[in-house]
């Protein structure tokens, strides 16, 4: 059976701006749940140094209690996104490894396409996916954001481990 997108897309009904020192993020909600996280616009965007939105979507209560609207995602995309949400903060995975974890070995390129379509960056942490050949790869908000998020998560994970 072909893996196709549902015909009807639920449009966001509620938009919540979240001010941070790195600009204004926009959280969009449908009746089903969170359907989009938008980074600050290019004119509003600043170089990230510290960002409260990363903390907001990284905290456990947000991840567990805010429902996600994945109604316009294919089954493949949903499985990839759910597998990605299991990757802990401070860790990275290659596109190929994520494909394997989602049950689609050999589909690294398709995983890359799913990451490109991800409307919920930070919540579905596509910044944790890197190329097998090295480097950090691309990111919808730019490489500076990806580097910032990876460094921030790694520092937080190290700090948590040093306290234990």
Residue 153 zone, left/alpha/beta (φ > 0; ψ -120 to 50; rest):
alpha
Helix (H), strand (E) at residue 145: helix 143-163
pLDDT recorded at residue 84: 97
pLDDT recorded at residue 95: 98
Instruction: Tell me the backbone φ, ψ of residue 98, rounded to 5 degrees.
Output: -65, -40
Pairwise CA distance, residues 160 & 164, whole Å: 7
Pairwise CA distance, residues 70 & 89, whole Å: 22
Q: Is residue 149 part of a domain?
A: yes
Q: Domain total for the chain?
A: 1
Name the residue among 57, 56, 111 with its Cα closest to residue 82.
Answer: 111
Pairwise CA distance, residues 56 & 19, whole Å: 11
What is the span of the domain harbouring residue 135?
14-163
Q: Is residue 1 part of a domain?
A: no
Pairwise CA distance, residues 98 & 79, whole Å: 10
pLDDT recorded at residue 21: 76
Q: Is residue 59 part of a domain?
A: yes
**How far is CA 86 from each of CA 1, 3, 10, 39, 44, rounded to the nearest angstrom?**
27, 23, 26, 23, 32
Catalytic annotation present for 126: yes
Tokens of residue 127, six digits:
């910044």
Q: Is residue 117 part of a domain?
A: yes
Q: Is residue 34 part of a domain?
A: yes
Q: Is residue 9 part of a domain?
A: no
DSSP structure string for 121-134: TTTS-GGGEE-TTS
Q: Is residue 8 part of a domain?
A: no
Q: Which residues contact 60 (CB under 8 A, 6 or more apart)?
A: none
Q: Is residue 33 part of a domain?
A: yes
Q: Kindly name the residue from 35, 51, 73, 126 that is annotated as catalytic.
A: 126
**CATH code for position 110:** 1.10.10.10
Task: Give ∠ CA 18-19-20 in degrees, rounded to 5.
Answer: 115
* Mean pLDDT for back-to-back runs of 10 residues, the chain (164 residues): 48 79 85 90 62 58 81 96 94 97 97 96 93 92 88 84 72
């Amino acid at each position: 059976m072909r893996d196709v997108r549902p015909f009807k897309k639920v449009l966001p009904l509620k938009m919540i701006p979240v001010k941070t020192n790195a600009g204004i993020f926009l959280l969009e909600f449908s009746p089903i749940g969170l359907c989009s996280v938008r980074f600050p616009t290019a004119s509003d965007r600043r170089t990230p140094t510290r960002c409260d939105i990363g903390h907001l979507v990284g905290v456990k209560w947000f991840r567990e209690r805010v429902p996600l609207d994945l109604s316009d995602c294919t089954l493949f995309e949903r499985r990839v996104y759910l597998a990605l949400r299991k990757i802990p903060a401070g860790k990275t995975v290659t596109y190929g490894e994520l494909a394997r974890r989602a049950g689609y070995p050999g589909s690294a390129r398709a995983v890359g396409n799913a990451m490109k379509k991800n409307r919920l960056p930070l919540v579905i942490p596509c910044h944790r996916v890197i190329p097998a050949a090295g480097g950090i790869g691309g990111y919808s908000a730019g490489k500076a954001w990806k580097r910032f998020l990876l460094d921030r998560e790694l520092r937080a994970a190290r700090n948590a481990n040093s306290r234990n």
